[in-house]
Amino acid sequence: MNIFRKTAKILYINQPYYVPAILPSLTRRLCSNIPESNDKVRVRFAPSPTGFMHLGGLRTALFNYLFAKSHGGKFILRIEDTDQERLVEGAMERIYQDLKWAGIIPDESPWNEGPHGPYVQSLRYDIYKQEVKKLMEDGRAYYCFCSERRLDLLRKEAVRLRQIPKYDNKCRDLTPAQIAERLAKNDKFCIRFKLDSKADEFQDMIYGKIVYFLAQNEGDPVIIKSDGFPTYHFANVVDDHYMRITHVLRGVEWQISTPKHIQIFHAFGWRPPQYAHLPLVMNPNGSKLSKRQGDVQLDYYRKRGIFPQALLNFITQSGGGFDRELIDVAGAQMSDLIKHFDIGKINAHSSRLNADLLTQCNREEIMYQLKNSPGQAEALVQEVIRLVRTEFKDNGSLDLDEKHVRDVLEWSVTRIDALQDLVKGKLSFIWVLPQRSKDASVDNDTLKVLAKNLGSEEDIEFTKAEISVFLKAFAERNRIAFELLMKSLRNCLSGLKEGPGVAEMMEILGRDKTVERILLATKRK
Ligand code: GLU
């Protein structure tokens, strides 16, 4: 299915929605058979495809997902693409792919439609068109013919008088005859929602009671633009209702819009969902996360070898949402996050990401995969093999048997931040077999004895410190200058002049590979 298919724009441009007392009464309550009561939690993540997903968006999606799953509910992905001017090609697919990568799998989405679709707003224009008629018939919405020029003058005048710029609701008072006349002349119009002037109050699940005087601060908002498209506010409310959303968890930047949304719900006679606004998460330096900032986009982390679960754990480190005594969030799995997510524990103030925790979370995730999940451990081994092949593709002799890779992973797991670290600079000797000609400073027989001793003396723990002691004793016993032995061994193990110390290389390679490489060197010419 091509979900980018656009509805014919032209269809709606300047076509009357409702002409009071002139057109016959229009079909009402088209979709009103949908019951109001929702026994199951249903939440949605509703991104606009105006850019790629960043950490803030990922956190909103994650918290929605955790809330749904911890209540046995459904997580829905809805694409809010009413602002056609700002669409970014490919963003919608990328958002979905990013969610899948992160393991936040929607129960309903444009890619797996449920019973309340379509899940892309640009495919729902018929629904908005029908819904707005209801508000017009009930006198809660009206045609506005004010020109851009007039609105601009109003704004300038307000600025001059140091007042809040707002629409003066002039077209509220047009008579049916005046409206019919303007429509007959094909005058350009938009549709506005008539705000109620009483105080707006709602209970925010995170911030508590919010009281706002909407009508004092703004004029009647546009709900259908002059091009026939709905505004975000209108489409958002209609969709939340028809998709039976029970709880809206979204960024705090939307909190100011919530009274408006609740008024629209009430105007329809619908029950609004419960709202929870998530405080901002900010960069470690306190600046805002932005879609345009490269290092907040998911791809940046993916390319660095950060695992999805590590990234999720990283973003849940700041801002609360969990009982820290019950869960070690840095090493958590999705099931732990679901089990211990507690919306009541989300802080009602903004928080900063702690950059240092990202690598810790990634290390813990690698460790988890290696130790607790045979399938994932195998996938790690294959990934390392892939990375090595990509990095050293011109090199014919790579040491890549699976046991070796796994041993290296075991050794490295507390030392690396990402798998990529294993193929960088100093560690290349792990994978690339030495190819230089043999070093003659220590004879083959001595090297063979050394290999035999290393292989058989099980009481030498194969750590840098113990290997060092062993090598010193071996040099003394065999009357070889220690430096010469080291030079020769370095040649056997890596064939490189530089790199980690010899004992350290041995520790990294492990006993079997060390013995194997020394013996291999004795066969080189
Ligand atoms: N489309 C809005 C956004 O891009 C969604 C806001 C909401 O969740 O209501 O964030």
**What is the SS3 assignment for 197-239?**
CCCEEEEECCCEEEEECHHHHCCCCEEECCCCCECHHHHHHHH
213-216-219-223 Cα dihedral, nearest 10 degrees: 10
518/448 same-domain check: yes
Write down which residue in 313, 341, 361 finishes a domain. Answer: 361
Q: Which of 409, 445, 443 is nearest to 427 (CA)?
A: 409
Looking up tokens 């013995």, which residue turns up? 515
Looking up tokens 């290296």, which residue turns up? 408
Q: Is the CB of 254 under 6 A from ligand 1?
A: yes
The reply to whether 185 falls in a domain is no
Q: Give the CATH number for residue 299.
A: 1.10.1160.10
Residue 249 half-sphere exposure toward CB, CA atoms < 13 A = 29
466-472-474-480 Cα dihedral, nearest 10 degrees: 160
Cα separation values, 46 from 69, 248, 419, Å: 17, 10, 33
- Nearest-CA residue for ligand 1 atom 5 is 46
Q: Give the CATH number for residue 516.
A: 1.10.10.350
* pLDDT in the model for residue 523: 85
185: tokens are 């002349």
Q: Is the CB of 108 under 6 A from ligand 1?
A: no
Domains of the chain: total: 3
| pLDDT values of the chain reduced to their tens digit, one per residue, 525 residues | 333 333 323 233 345 555 544 333 332 333 333 334 445 999 999 999 998 888 999 999 999 999 999 999 999 999 999 988 899 999 999 999 999 999 999 999 999 999 999 999 999 999 999 999 999 999 999 999 999 999 999 999 999 999 989 999 999 999 999 999 999 999 999 999 999 998 889 999 999 999 999 999 999 999 999 999 999 999 999 999 999 999 999 999 999 999 999 999 999 999 999 999 999 988 877 787 765 566 668 889 999 999 999 999 999 988 999 987 777 777 899 999 999 999 999 999 999 888 889 999 999 999 999 998 899 999 999 999 999 999 998 776 899 999 999 999 998 988 899 999 999 878 889 999 887 666 778 899 999 999 999 988 777 789 999 999 999 999 999 999 999 999 999 999 998 888 889 999 999 999 999 999 999 999 876
2: tokens are 């091509």
Q: Which atom of ligand 1 is nearest to the CA of 236?
A: 9
Which of 80, 82, 86, 248 most suits a substitution to test ligand 1, by most atoms within 8 Å of the C-beta?
Answer: 80
Q: Is the CB of 236 under 6 A from ligand 1?
A: yes
* 428 close to 392: Cβ distance less than 8 angstroms: yes
83: tokens are 């602002």
The whole-model pTM stands at: 0.86
Chain centre distance of CA 73: 20
- Nearest-CA residue for ligand 1 atom 3 is 47
Q: Which residues contact 225 (CB under 8 A, 6 or more apart)?
A: 190, 231
First to last CA, the chain: 64
* C-alpha 427 – ligand 1 centre gap (Å): 46
d(CA 138, CA 226): 21
Q: Which atom of ligand 1 is nearest to the CA of 257?
A: 9
340/383 same-domain check: no
* C-alpha 19 – ligand 1 centre gap (Å): 32
485/464 same-domain check: yes
Q: Which atom of ligand 1 is nearest to the CA of 60?
A: 8
- Nearest-CA residue for ligand 1 atom 10 is 47
Instruction: Find the domain containing 462 and state its range.
Output: 444-522
* pLDDT in the model for residue 16: 57
449/517 same-domain check: yes
